[in-house]
Chains A and B, each alone.
Chain A
Amino acid sequence: MRGIQSALEPAGVQAEQIANLWTVFLIVTAIVYVVVMAFTIAALLRRRPAIVSNATSPAVRNTVSAAVGLTVLILFGLLTASIFTTRGIASVPDRAIQIAVTGKQWWWQVEYDDADKSKRITTANEIVIPVGVPVTVHLRSSDVIHSFWVPSLHGKRDLIPGKRGQTLTFRADKPGVYRGQCAEFCGYQHANMSLWVTALPFADYARWIEASRQPSRIPSTKTERKGQDVFMSSPCPLCHTIQGTAAGGKTGPDLTHFASRRSIAAAMFPNRPGFLGGWIVDAQHLKPGSQMPSIPLQEQELQPLVTYLESLK
């Protein structure tokens, strides 16, 4: 039985160390469990003399003492293994890509820093990282406590409003797409606050960065132009930004390169026109309580709008 975000299928060095520690713990505790149960069953089934004396036999006393001593030793061993792994996953390399991830009810804002402010990238629910390069995510929250967890790459770390310095450093060693999810209960749509981490070879990553720094694509067809008009005249720009247009709302996800993302609504649905149309018109049905309002649009407005958004590569 495999999940799509399994801690047992590590794709990065940190997750791998934890998975190895897991194997150690699993084996040791499984042996302990089997031994304890074996003793219990033996104690039950043991052949007994007809009259059981109330005296305590020294053999039993010694066995119990030995078991306690062994317990202490095993725990000490596990503790040591655990502390070494803690040190292993906590070491921070001096070169790492810095990414800010802000948890919001119920989606993730992702920002790539750059000294040149015009080169900063803002996206949502999707983190693109290069393979083999350490990445440090700086975790913040703008409302309640969330927890950032991509099991294939690292353990989780809470995003706590007002608390700085929450970071997690990990490295993906295999190209691939890894799912993550909010792990701290954060309200109505806690269940649907997921994200994707895409690990690309460095060259592809660099291309993605370059592409993402560009303003949005200019609509080229008549439908796309109409779609942009619908976007601008609807509630959309009050919350969403599309670089290169007048839309500059800051409270919703940045849509500049919307069409390049895999999913919508915090990895709840695939990014396909049908889902997108439904999401715009009735977000509150698909994701009740979400902060995306249901926008009552007519069919002849919706269709161009979806076309326009899906053209924003």
Chain B
Amino acid sequence: MKRAAIALLLLTMLACEREERRFREMPSAAARRNTERLVSLVPGPYTADVKVDAPYGRNAFAISEGKRLFSWYNCVGCHANGGGGMGPPLMDERWRYGSDPEQIFATIWEGRPNGMPSFRGKIPEYQVWQLVAYVQSLSGNVPKDAANGRPDDMQVHKQDQALPDLVPEKEPAPVQ
């Protein structure tokens, strides 16, 4: 009985986290700026880096928002839909700058040599975390039930982005 109750509670929490629609993010909720240090020297006694869990790793809405932003902010331009092009593919998880959430965050936030631009100040922080969640999902590093079930390629086709191909009409004239 007790076990069932705990299982139910766990289920509740899992489902809640997956289904939550967090529209309004406080900066602190998305917290944790860059964790990458440029040097390994740290003052004071030795401290281990505290691993930060990505705030959205299990959240279906955030992953799907990340997917939208991935094309909106033109990540697809270099990374295609994860297959890579000018930029490295993102469907695996073996990357030079690491595949932990905070490492992905730092890569987007700070940029990386040889092409990856820094999006600091260009994308609001919580959206970067949404992108992190989506990038993780590309390599299957988020729970399966939270990830999108199917790659929809609407944004790639961009059929709506082109200007209208309306037939050039005769110059309209006022009636009367």
CB of B29 closer than 8 Å to a CB of A: no
Cα distance, A104 to B68, chains bound together (Å): 13
Determine how close the nearest CB of chain A comes to the CB of B30; give it in whole angstroms. 11
| Main DSSP-derived SS at the A contact region | loop
Q: Is the CB of B24 within 8 A of A294?
A: yes
* Interface pick from A14-22, A94-102, A214-222: A94-102
Q: Is the CB of B163 within 8 A of A132?
A: no
Cα distance, A294 to B29, chains bound together (Å): 14
Interface residues of A (CB under 8 A from B): 94-98, 100, 102, 104, 111, 113-115, 117, 120, 122, 130, 132-134, 138, 140-143, 161-162, 171, 188, 202, 233-235, 238-239, 250-251, 282, 284-285, 288-291, 293-296
Q: Is the CB of B174 within 8 A of A251?
A: no
Cα distance, A130 to B127, chains bound together (Å): 41
Residue of B nearest to A103 (CB): B160
Residue of A nearest to B21 (CB): A289
Cα distance, A3 to B159, chains bound together (Å): 36
Q: Is the CB of A140 within 8 A of B160?
A: yes
Interface residues of B in 105-149 (CB under 8 A from A): 121-124, 126-127
Q: Is the CB of A239 within 8 A of B72?
A: yes
CB of B44 closer than 8 Å to a CB of A: no
Cα distance, A135 to B11, chains bound together (Å): 55
Q: Is the CB of A113 within 8 A of B172?
A: no
Q: Is the CB of A288 within 8 A of B172?
A: no
* Given A132-B174, A251-B72, residue A102 in contact with residue B160 (CB < 8 A): yes
Residue of B nearest to A250 (CB): B161
Residue of A nearest to B161 (CB): A250
Q: Is the CB of B154 within 8 A of A96?
A: no
Determine how close the nearest CB of chain B comes to the CB of A298; give it in whole angstroms. 12
Cα distance, A122 to B170, chains bound together (Å): 20
